[in-house]
């Protein structure tokens, strides 16, 4: 059982292209939607989904965080409700764990093919798009990977030796446009130029991002 956590950015897009090139079977492609991705990412999801289906691969399955009542809760709603910023502003990455990782694991926990693999005593193979220049990220994840009883982690881009430039080249060679950076429009890690882009192209999103900051003031 091979699954891909698709992030909508350059590395994970190149990984899907490479998996098709290398004839690696893929059973499930998940995109965890926090509800605040930038417009270019949502637009690219449609482009990538069409490319995947045209090349005999599964389409993209979107998942998201739900509360105890089963209602969807976006990261933006959570920030406004708790009068706080995304956790990365305080030095944590709980927003990613809660709105990216957890929805995918919850989906798989209730997905019959994954349940069947675990019932057979097999691990589900989760493919992660770290490129060949991100060895430090892989090393940081290694202790968790070694103790994970449900998933076997695979890093195809590293196995192929694809660095960032090679990823860009392979996406273009596949006839796809480059996806752009994937992030929430109110992410505290955004660069100045990215905020200026919001100001000029998406003033409504900038206003919503500022509303989160205003709500979080002491």
Give the residue extent of every domain in the chain: 2-216
Percent of the chain with pLDDT over 70: 100
pLDDT tens digits along 32-52: 999 999 999 999 999 999 999
- Domain 2-216 fold is Rossmann fold (3.40.50)
Q: Read off the pLDDT of residues 108-141 as tens digits, 9 standing for 90 and up.
A: 999 999 999 999 999 999 999 999 988 888 888 8
Three-state DSSP at 123 gives coil
Say what the pTM is.
0.93
Contact predicate 209/86, CB 8 Å: no
Among residues 60, 64, 63, the alpha carbon closest in space to that of 12 is found at: 60
Are residues 57 and 29 in contact, defined by beta-carbon separation less than 8 angstroms? Answer: yes
| Mean pLDDT of the chain, nearest integer | 95
Instruction: Report the Cα 4 to chain-centroid distance in Å.
Output: 10
Reported as a single tens digit per residue, the pLDDT across 50-88 is 999 999 999 999 999 999 899 999 999 999 999 999 999
């Amino acid at each position: 059982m091979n699954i891909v956590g698709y992030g909508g950015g350059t590395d994970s897009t190149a990984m899907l292209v490479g998996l098709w090139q290398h004839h690696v079977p893929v059973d499930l492609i998940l995109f965890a939607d926090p509800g605040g991705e930038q417009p270019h990412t949502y637009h690219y999801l449609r482009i990538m989904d069409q490319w995947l289906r045209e090349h005999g691969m599964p389409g993209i399955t979107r998942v998201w965080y739900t509360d105890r009542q089963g209602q969807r809760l976006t990261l933006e709603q959570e920030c406004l409700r708790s009068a706080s910023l995304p956790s990365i502003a305080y030095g944590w990455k709980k927003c990613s764990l809660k709105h990216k990782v957890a929805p995918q694991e919850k989906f798989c926990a209730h997905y019959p093919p994954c349940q069947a693999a675990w019932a057979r005593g097999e691990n589900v193979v989760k493919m992660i798009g770290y490129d060949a220049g991100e060895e430090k990220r892989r090393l940081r994840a290694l202790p968790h990977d070694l103790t994970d009883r449900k998933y076997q982690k695979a890093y195809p881009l590293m196995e192929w030796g694809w660095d960032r430039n090679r990823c860009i080249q392979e996406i273009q060679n596949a006839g796809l446009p480059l996806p752009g950076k994937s992030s929430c429009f109110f992410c505290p890690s955004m660069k100045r130029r990215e905020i200026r882009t919001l100001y000029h192209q998406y003033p409504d999103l900038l206003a919503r991002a500022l509303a989160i900051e205003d709500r979080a003031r002491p």
